[in-house]
Amino acid sequence: MTGRRVLVTGGAGFVGTHLVDALVAGGADVVVLDDLSNGTTDHLNSRAALIEGSVTDAETRAEALDGAEVVLHLAAIASVPLCEENPELSAAVNRAAAIELAREARQAGVSAFIFVSSAAIYGEPTIIPIDENHPQVPIGTYGSHKAEADAAILAMAESGLPLSVIRPFNIYGAGQDPTSSYSGVLTIFTNRAQAGQPLTVYGDGEQTRDYIHVSDIVSSLCAVASSLVEKGEASPCHGRPFNSCSGHSTSLNQIISTLGNALGKSLEVVNEPPRQGDPRESVGDGQALHSAIGWTSSVSLEDGLRQLLD
Examine the residue annotation and report whether 172 is marked as an active-site residue of this protein. Answer: no
Catalytic site residue from 122, 142, 172, 211: 142
SS (H, E, C) the chain: CCCCEEEEECCCCHHHHHHHHHHHHCCCEEEEEECCCCCCHHHCCCCCEEEECCCCCHHHHHHHHCCCCEEEECCCCCCHHHHHHCHHHHHHHHHHHHHHHHHHHHHCCCCEEEEECCHHHHECCCCCCECCCCCCECCHHHHHHHHHHHHHHHHHHHCCCCEEEEEECEEECCCCCCCCCCCCHHHHHHHHHHCCCCEEEECCCCCEECEEEHHHHHHHHHHHHHHHHHHHHHCCCCCEEEEECCCCCEEHHHHHHHHHHHHCCCCCEEEECCCCCCCCCCCECCHHHHHHHCCCCCCCHHHHHHHHHC
Catalytic residues: 142
